[in-house]
Structure 1
Amino acid sequence: MIALLLVTASAHALTTDELVAKNIDARGGLDKIHAIKTLRLEGKLRIGGQFELALAEYKKAPDSVRNEATIQGLTQIQAWDGRNAWQISPFQGRRDPEKMSGDDAKSLSDDAAIGGPLADWQAQGSKLEYLGTEDIDGTEAHKLKVTRSNGDIEYVYLDPDHFLEIRTTTDQIVRGTHVETVADYGDYELVNGVYFPFSISLSSKGGSPFDKQQITIEKAAANVPMDDTLFTFPAAAGTGHAAGGAKP
């Protein structure tokens, strides 16, 4: 009887490919994910439970991303064009565009794909491994290990019932220091037939209270026109368009 139970359990065990397929199906299917060529998200970013900024994120397939955070007329910009990253940091008194180092660009490049880390993971140059289940706030979530081409390691936790991401934990080496970031996802909404999380809680293990961030998406639009110059380093540093925010 014990042997029979073990065989039955093994027969129902999910493989890595099956988990990825279930996640993609739950999100809307690979065809609908691929049909989204650009994505614009707008909402609020609350830092440390004290400061609230207007947030805008722009993505363009295959791997360009730009993030903007605005408060009191000042806009922090970070962008990745698939090869290089740059930023404008007015909160640190730097209003001109400046190139970002490879280590500082990791978070941007990891977040650039519209479909996330699991859709087209092979095309992204990642390696994937199923590590069984792990308790996430009372839920026995499926745990997948994603090893990025840049060396970053991301653990993706899928809800056992709906197979959507409920948490990711990212391990990075930034300027010789180990950084571990936790992102919790919720409030999934449909955008052009694809589910995206509209609530994201971010924190760094061992970080300060100001490392805790809450993102709330209020508006989303897919396949809106976006010029490539939105993501590339401005040819004329300090131009009004680059410093004043994106107007795609």
Structure 2
Amino acid sequence: MNKFLAFICFFFLGNAFVSAQTADEIIDKHIAALGGKDKLTSIKSVVMEGKVSSQGMEFPMTTTIVNNKGFRLDFAVMGMNAWIIMRPDSGWTFMPFQGQTKPEPIPMDQIKEGIDQLDLSGNLLDYKSKGHTVEYLGLDDVEGTECHKLKVTSKSGKLTYYLIDPTSYYIVKTVSKQKFGGKEFDAETKFSNYKEVEGGLVFPYTVESMNGPVDMTKITINSDIQETLFKP
């Protein structure tokens, strides 16, 4: 009986250890592929300039992020300038092409959904100290390539699946559980066209979501950003 119990304990606990170890090994290779832990943790701000293609239209956009402090997306539609601002405890939108005449607050539940975007080092780096959990789910097909699949539950409870290429160890797709209008749905995002930027860091220059593809033209690291940019 004792041997049987020992076997059962080893089967469950041992498998859990192997799963965690495998997840950590994949994450370590992913972090190294992006430039390494030291470089990732040195990022204080990022400015990404590019263009969005949606519903047959193409318009410019600029995303500005200060690590764990603020996120701002500026874009122009039909000649009208619009923006989205998000901070850890608040956020606003201004979209005149939708009839808005003044900034409107973002509901707190949506702030919690998007708060991870403020972490420029990403959810995988030092995930344990950030309060996130990661589970390795084996391999899953992404356009003909068997990719490593990680299940990540953030500290806030948000669930995201990361698909990581087995050769480059870049993230090629994420699938996150999101809520809108009281309903939950899967939001899929694809990442490609990875390039090295200043300081030896690697970023995806093409991001595709249900809103359409975004093609980056310029990514700037650690420029001086005024925090007033994150006020309505």
TM-score bracket for this pair, using the shorter chain length: 0.7 to 0.9
8 Å contact from structure 1 (residues 103, 175) kept in 2: no
8 Å contact from structure 1 (residues 64, 113) kept in 2: no
Measured against aligned partners, the alpha-carbon deviations of 1:157-201 in whole angstroms (never above 9, x if no partner) come to 000011110000011233421121111110111122111100011
Counterpart selection for 1:67 from 68, 73, 82? 73
Amino acid at match of 1:171: K
- Cα distance in 2 between the residues matched to 1:30 and 1:217: 24
Match of 1:36 in 2: 43
- Cα distance in 2 between the residues matched to 1:71 and 1:115: 30
How do 1:94-105 and structure 2 match up within 5 A? 94-105=100-111
SS of residue in 2 equivalent to 1:32: helix
SS of residue in 2 equivalent to 1:17: helix
Range with greater deviation from structure 2 (127-136 or 58-67): 58-67
For the aligned residue pairs, the C-alpha RMSD in angstroms reads: 1.9
Change in Cα spacing, 1:134 to 1:15, as seen in structure 2 (3 Å) is same
Amino acid at match of 1:21: D
Change in Cα spacing, 1:60 to 1:112, as seen in structure 2 (3 Å) is same
Asked if 1:230 is matched to 2:229, the reply is: yes
Question: Gapped runs of 5+ residues in structure 2?
Answer: 1-14
Asked if 1:198 is matched to 2:205, the reply is: yes
Q: Give every structure 1 segment of 4 or more consecutive aligned residues whose post-TM-superposition deviation is greater than 3 Å.
A: none
Match of 1:47 in 2: 54
Q: TM-score, normalised by structure 1?
A: 0.80
Q: What is the CA distance between 1:122 and its match in structure 2?
A: 2.9
Q: Across the two proteins, how many residue pairs are aligned to each other?
A: 214
- Cα distance in 2 between the residues matched to 1:30 and 1:98: 37
Change in Cα spacing, 1:176 to 1:38, as seen in structure 2 (3 Å) is same
How do 1:89-238 and structure 2 match up within 5 A? 89-191=95-197, 192-203=199-210, 212-232=211-231, 234=232
Amino acid at match of 1:39: V
Q: What is the CA distance between 1:145 and its match in structure 2?
A: 0.7
Change in Cα spacing, 1:16 to 1:184, as seen in structure 2 (3 Å) is same
